Amino acid sequence: MHLFKYIKSAFLYHWNLLAFLGGMGFALLSGFPGIFCPLVLAGEAAYLGLLGTHPKFQQYVDAQEHQAARQKGSVSAESTMQRILKGLPNKLVQRFEGLRSRCLELRQLAQEMKDPGRAGMAPPLEDLQLAGLDRLLWIYLRLLFTQNSMEQFMQKTKEDQIQADIQNLENRLKGVADETANPQRQKVRKALEDNLETSRARLANFQKARDNYELVKLEIDRLENKIRSLSELAVNRQEPDFISGQVDQVAESMVETERTMGELQFVTGLQTTDEAVPEMLRRQAVTEKQ
């Protein structure tokens, strides 16, 4: 199956298609198609067998597939980012843009220390540095969205009402005997049991959201503080290469926080798949709110 993929890619390579179609056209118009067509097909088979099994060509095909997958993931992440921004209140969007500005300052500071003569030109940092900072901003934005979703969830969901519903269902269930000989009573009991199970699940979800709400708020503050600290370290230590390692450490420290956000998907609706990180530092603005 994998070999077929490489042979297919070799055949669909545009220069090969031009040569193959041109050769077949010549063979058909030559007046001796019975001679030239088999020769063209034999040459094409030899070409596909040689190129399709060549390690470097296979590496090239794999690299192209990975690049296409990354681009597809970037489009998905970009769409998610814009959906999040449009769903946030203005005060949280401004808070995000404030932290993003801090990242841009960090980017500029690092460049000025590496090449003071190009200060103000804002050339890009190394890809690894930009990717790390983009990841921190992406985590931060999703944390803000999680916080906002949890606040709305807790405003619309009353714990005491759920507990009252559970108590009422438990009392009603006690009054319904488990009569196997009475199908109607069995249906009533099953409906009550199912409703009770659903209510208990709602209570568990609410308690999970409530227990994690303060954690999410603390993590938002912690991440903001980490970004500010990175800016100060970049200036005081005069070691721009130190930034990359520190960014990686901060990102790694947020792994548990990202896992918590995944557990709160029932509130936020955010997917827990390994989504690509949208670019946030290679543009002038990321907000598209009307």
Could you list the residue range(s) of the whole structural domain that residue 98 is in? 89-268
Query: In which band, very low, low, confident or very high, does the pLDDT at 17 lie, cut at 50, 70 and 90?
Result: confident
Same domain, 129 and 239: yes
Same domain, 183 and 247: yes
* CA gap 142, 92 in Å, rounded: 11
pLDDT at 272: 52
Q: Are residues 162 and 234 in the same domain?
A: yes
Q: Are residues 132 and 253 in the same domain?
A: yes
d(CA 16, CA 39) in angstroms, rounded, equals 15
Give the SS3 label for residue 72. helix
Largest CA distance in the chain: 95
Do 29 and 118 have their domain in common? no
| Residue 127 predicted with pLDDT over 60 | no
Residue 171 lies in a domain: yes
Domain annotation covers residue 67: no
Helix (H), strand (E), coil (C) string for 205-255: HHHHHHHHHHHHHHHHHHHHHHHHHHHHHHHHCCCCCHHHHHHHHHHHHCH
pLDDT beyond 70 at 162: yes
List the single range of 120-129, 199-208, 222-231 with lowest mean pLDDT.
120-129
Angle between the N-to-C axes of helices 242-253 and 127-156, in degrees from 0 to 180, rounded to the nearest 10: 30
Do 124 and 193 share a domain, yes or no? Answer: yes
Query: For residue 103, is it within any domain?
Result: yes
Task: Report if residue 136 sits inside a domain.
Answer: yes
Q: Is the pLDDT of residue 122 over 80?
A: no
Using CB atoms within 10 A of its CB, is residue 157 exposed (0-12), middle (13-18) or buried (19+)? middle
Are residues 152 and 19 both part of a single domain?
A: no
Would residue 63 count as lying in a domain?
Answer: no
User: Rounded to two decimals, what is the model's pTM?
Assistant: 0.61
Question: Residue 11 burial (CB < 10 Å; 0-12/13-18/19+)?
Answer: middle
Q: 184 and 135, same structural domain?
A: yes
Confidence at residue 121, expressed as pLDDT on a 0 to 100 scale:
45
Instruction: Read off the pLDDT band of 144 (50, 70, 90).
Output: very high
Which range scores top for mean pLDDT: 18-22, 175-179, 217-221, 252-256?
217-221
Whether 103 and 30 share a structural domain:
no
- CA atoms lying within 13 Å on the CB side of residue 152: 12
Domain membership flag for residue 80: no
CA–CA dist 82, 286 (Å, integer): 8
Do residues 132 and 262 share a domain? yes
Residue 177 clears pLDDT 80, i.e. is over it? no
Q: 118 and 260: one domain?
A: yes
**pLDDT-based confidence at 128, cuts 50/70/90?**
low
Same domain, 98 and 45: no
Smallest Cα–Cα separation from 52: which of 13, 7, 4, 15?
7
Residue 289 domain flag: no
65 within a domain of the structure (yes/no)? no
Count of the separate structural domains present in the chain: 2
Give the pLDDT mean for 186-197.
88
